[in-house]
């Protein structure tokens, strides 16, 4: 067995394979399918200060090699997450990253303060790239370098655990965005969030999503994720969790070459819940076959 | 930590048979012993119709029968996924996830059940029908279809048939027959179980409520995960003084009709 263990921002993980936020709830459902202890880590559903009902259905549509979603951050709110969801996850030997989303830097800071005090939180993932909630310019927070800096700084000031910033690839200068987060003290980056897309039902002429626009995920977006990780790796020194279309060990290796220290599986676990384990097994084989000692041997080593 | 309970299974199943049957439906039998052991009426399975590639997302299918190591589904080739499914051959392998969802509740003391099936909704209703027969509960079955060509009635003993064009049985909608079937039933010991298109479910719920009889409706939706993590397949429900969303896959697909906020 190859040694797949990794340490990112001081957090030890058995292997670099995590579940991506928004695709694994708070772990309860997948715990009925497989042993969560075998994962490298879990990034739980986007958590807001108040409970959120989410957007009107239909909320998802299948697209070529991917899907669109406009869930709209449906979650029970930070209090219920702390009191009802985290105790369940504490039963497992599993680093837990909590994804947080707010409408202002003050809300992000308050979430960081509350979750920083909670037991069983290994890190925060700051979601400033959700395509399904409205912000001031109806764009994404991460499209404004000032917001990236200010929100990251505000969270860092309150958080007692490492802070990862989740970005979208839909920004004009990705390297600058990554640098803004790093300058504000981010301990790591999560790349990438879904890309905004749209689909229309040609029988009715109506959008397939009630929210009209949604976030595209799945294998279709993998090359965009690889590009984002590659660019960020050259721009900042902090570790990167790569995500976007990962469905196999080969995809995970590609992200590692681009510069990721760990990877997260999202949409693929919808259609095959055992994807994370197939990836772990495949990574073992790949590292053994190539006699690589550790993940760091290939991290960012794409040869140009 | 407490012992973990893995009660949702994902495995590669061998297709034992695919048959075209009544009303243009296909019946597919799968060797899925783990799912067959625990599946109950109203639950569903989710199939990856192509091992890789398109369509990417699994297709949810109501369980038609389960037992002796096998699970059966009944479906129509209505879209890309079911089209591919209908062309599968005996001996092929398909990934099955299940059993999923809550299933119908058959309360202690139930004496009379009225089952209402519309279109594809006949599949879970057939499974429930056999279970009620086994438990010797008095059962009335009402099956509705647009016309006689789209009708599936195999396995039901003297069902009340309704077709919208009158080409078989009573002309009209299922609600007329349901109204008659409910009259005279005692509310405390009767229940209506329905599966079919949403407008039918809404109408069935209204008739049942008028008679004061409990009504369980099985809802359907496009689903991305089938197990409750993606939050795609929600429906509106009453929650306290207002409304909220519940997941059709994990909180349903069967709901007490009084809980649903109907949208038309």
Q: Does residue A135 carry a pLDDT above 70?
A: no
Q: Cβ–Cβ of A92/B1 closer than 8 Å? A: yes
Average pLDDT, chain A: 95
User: How buried is A94 (Cβ within 10 angstroms: 0-12 exposed, 13-18 middle, 19+ buried)?
Assistant: buried
Q: What is the pLDDT of residue B264?
A: 65
Residue of A130, A180, A199, A253 marked active site: A130
Instruction: Give the nearest chain B residue to A61 (CA atoms).
Output: B222
Q: What is the pLDDT of residue B3?
A: 72
Q: What is the pLDDT of residue A300?
A: 96
The predicted-structure confidence for B7-16, as pLDDT tens digits, reads as follows 999 999 999 9
Q: Which residue in B2, B5, B224 is closest to A270 by CB distance? A: B224
Q: Cβ–Cβ of A60/B232 closer than 8 Å? A: yes
Q: Does residue A174 carry a pLDDT above 80?
A: yes
> Distance of alpha carbon B85 from its chain centroid, rounded?
18
Quickly state the pLDDT bin for B24 (edges 50, 70, 90).
confident
The percent of residues in chain A predicted with pLDDT above 90, rounded, is: 93
**ipTM value of the model?**
0.94
A65 touches B at CB < 8 Å: yes
The predicted-structure confidence for A84-101, as pLDDT tens digits, reads as follows 999 999 999 999 999 999
Q: Does residue B45 carry a pLDDT above 90?
A: yes
Q: Which residue in B9, B48, B231 is closest to A272 by CB distance? A: B48
Domains and their CATH numbers in chain B: 9-100 (2.40.30.10), 112-259 (3.40.50.80)
- Structure tokens, B39: 């599946």
A87 touches B at CB < 8 Å: no
A203 touches B at CB < 8 Å: no
State the count of interchain CB pairs (< 8 A) between A and B.
104
Average confidence (pLDDT) over A253-261? 98
Contact B259, B234 (CB under 8 A): no
CA distance B129 to B141: 8
Query: Three-state SS string across chain A, please?
Result: CCCCCEEECCEEECCCEEECCCCCCCCCCHHHCCCHHHCCEEEEEEECCCCECCCCCCCEEEECCEEEECCCCCECCHHHHHHHHHHHHCCCCCCEEEEECCCCHHHHHHHHHHHHHCCCCCEEEEECCCCCCCCCCCCCHHHCHHHHHHHHHHHHHHCCCCEEEEECCCCCCHHHHHHHHHHCCCCEEEECCCEEECCEECCCCEECCCCCCEEEECHHHHHHHHHHHHHHHHHCCCCEEEECCCCCHHHHHHHHHHCCCEEEECCHHHHCCCHHHHHHHHHHHHHHHCCCCCHHHCCCCCCC
Quickly state the pLDDT bin for A136 (edges 50, 70, 90).
low
Q: What is the pLDDT of residue A137?
A: 59
Q: Which residue in A34, A71, A274 is closest to B231 by CB distance? A: A71
- How far from B201 is each of A47, A181, B222, CA to CA, in Å? 34, 51, 17
- How far from B78 is each of B84, B197, B223, CA to CA, in Å? 10, 14, 16
Q: What is the pLDDT of residue A273?
A: 96
Instruction: Give the nearest chain B residue to A32 (CA atoms).
Output: B6
A173 touches B at CB < 8 Å: no
What residues in B contact A69, CB-CB < 8 Å? 224, 230, 232
Is residue A142 annotated as a catalytic residue, yes or no? no
What residues in B contact A53, CB-CB < 8 Å? 244-245
Average confidence (pLDDT) over B31-41? 97
Q: Cβ–Cβ of A59/B232 closer than 8 Å? A: yes
A3-17, A65-79, A273-287, B164-178: range with lowest mean pLDDT? B164-178
Average confidence (pLDDT) over B60-84? 95
Tokens 């086994």 label which residue? B134
Q: What is the pLDDT of residue B26?
A: 96
CA distance B148 to B144: 9
Quickly state the pLDDT bin for A265 (edges 50, 70, 90).
very high
CA distance A58 to B15: 32
Q: Cβ–Cβ of B57/A270 closer than 8 Å? A: yes
What residues in A contact B9, CB-CB < 8 Å? 33
A31 touches B at CB < 8 Å: yes
Domains and their CATH numbers in chain A: 6-54+72-195+217-297 (3.20.20.70)
Tokens 């900042």 label which residue? A236
Q: What is the pLDDT of residue B155?
A: 87
Q: Which of these, B79, B107, B58, lies nearest to B215 by C-alpha position?
A: B107
Q: What is the pLDDT of residue A254?
A: 98
Mark out chain B residues that contact chain A at CB-CB < 8 A. Answer: 1-2, 4-10, 48, 53-58, 95, 97, 221-222, 224-235, 244-245, 250
Q: Cβ–Cβ of A271/B229 closer than 8 Å? A: no
Q: Cβ–Cβ of B229/A270 closer than 8 Å? A: yes
Average confidence (pLDDT) over A42-68? 97
The predicted-structure confidence for A105-116, as pLDDT tens digits, reads as follows 999 999 999 998
Q: Cβ–Cβ of A54/B245 closer than 8 Å? A: yes
Q: What angle do CA B116, B119, B124 make, to 5 degrees?
A: 60
């Amino acid at each position: 067995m190859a040694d797949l263990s990794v340490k990112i921002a001081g957090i030890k993980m058995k292997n670099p394979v995590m579940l991506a936020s928004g695709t694994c709830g708070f772990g309860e459902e997948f715990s009925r399918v497989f042993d969560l202890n075998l994962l490298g880590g879990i990034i739980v559903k986007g958590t807001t200060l108040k409970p959120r009902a989410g957007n009107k259905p239909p909320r998802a549509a299948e697209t070529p090699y991917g899907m669109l979603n406009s869930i709209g951050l449906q979650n029970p709110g930070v209090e219920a997450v702390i009191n009802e969801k985290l105790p369940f996850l504490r039963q497992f030997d599993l680093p837990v990253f909590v994804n947080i989303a707010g409408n202002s830097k003050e809300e992000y800071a308050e979430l960081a303060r509350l979750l920083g005090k909670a037991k069983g939180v290994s890190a925060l993932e700051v979601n400033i790239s959700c395509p399904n909630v409205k912000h001031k310019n109806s764009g994404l927070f991460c499209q404004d370098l000032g917001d990236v800096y200010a929100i990251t700084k505000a969270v860092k000031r309150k958080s007692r655990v490492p802070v990862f910033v989740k970005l979208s690839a839909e920004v004009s200068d990705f390297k600058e965005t990554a640098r803004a987060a790093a300058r504000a003290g981010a301990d790591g980056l999560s790349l990438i969030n879904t890309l905004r897309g749209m689909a229309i039902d040609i029988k009715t002429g109506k959008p397939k999503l009630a929210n009209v626009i949604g976030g595209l995920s799945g294998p279709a977006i993998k090359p965009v994720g690889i590009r984002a990780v590659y660019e960020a790796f050259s721009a900042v020194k902090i570790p990167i969790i790569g995500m976007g279309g990962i469905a196999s060990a080969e995809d995970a290796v590609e992200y590692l070459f681009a510069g990721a220290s760990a990877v997260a599986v999202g949409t693929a676990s919808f259609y095959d819940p055992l994807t994370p384990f197939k990836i772990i097994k495949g990574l073992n084989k790949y590292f053994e076959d190539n006699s690589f000692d550790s993940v760091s041997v290939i991290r960012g080593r794409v040869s140009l | 930590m407490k012992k973990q309970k893995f009660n949702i299974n994902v495995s590669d199943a061998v297709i034992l048979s695919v048959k075209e049957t009544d009303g243009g439906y296909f019946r597919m039998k799968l060797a899925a012993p783990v799912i067959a052991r625990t599946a109950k009426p109203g639950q569903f399975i989710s199939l990856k119709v192509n091992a890789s590639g398109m369509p990417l997302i699994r297709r949810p299918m109501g369980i038609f029968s389960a037992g002796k190591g096998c699970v059966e589904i009944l479906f129509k080739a209505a879209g890309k996924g079911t089209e591919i499914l209908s062309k599968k051959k005996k001996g092929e392998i398909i990934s099955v996830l299940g059993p999923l969802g809550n299933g119908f509740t058959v309360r202690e003391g139930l004496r009379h059940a009225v089952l209402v099936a519309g279109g594809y909704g006949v599949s879970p209703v057939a499974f429930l029908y056999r279970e009620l027969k086994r438990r010797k509960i008095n059962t009335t079955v009402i099956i509705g279809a647009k016309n006689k060509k789209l009708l599936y009635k195999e396995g039901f003993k003297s069902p009340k048939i309704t077709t919208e064009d009158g080409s078989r049985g009573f002309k009209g909608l299922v609600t007329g027959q349901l109204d008659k079937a409910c009259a005279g039933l005692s509310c405390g010991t009767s229940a209506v179980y329905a599966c079919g298109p949403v407008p039918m479910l809404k109408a069935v719920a209204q008739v049942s409520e008028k008679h004061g009889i409990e009504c369980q409706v099985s809802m359907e939706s496009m689903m991305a995960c089938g197990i409750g993590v993606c939050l795609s397949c929600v429906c509106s429900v009453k929650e306290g003084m207002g409304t909220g969303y519940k997941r059709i896959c994990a909180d349903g697909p069967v709901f007490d009709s009084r809980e649903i906020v109907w949208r038309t």
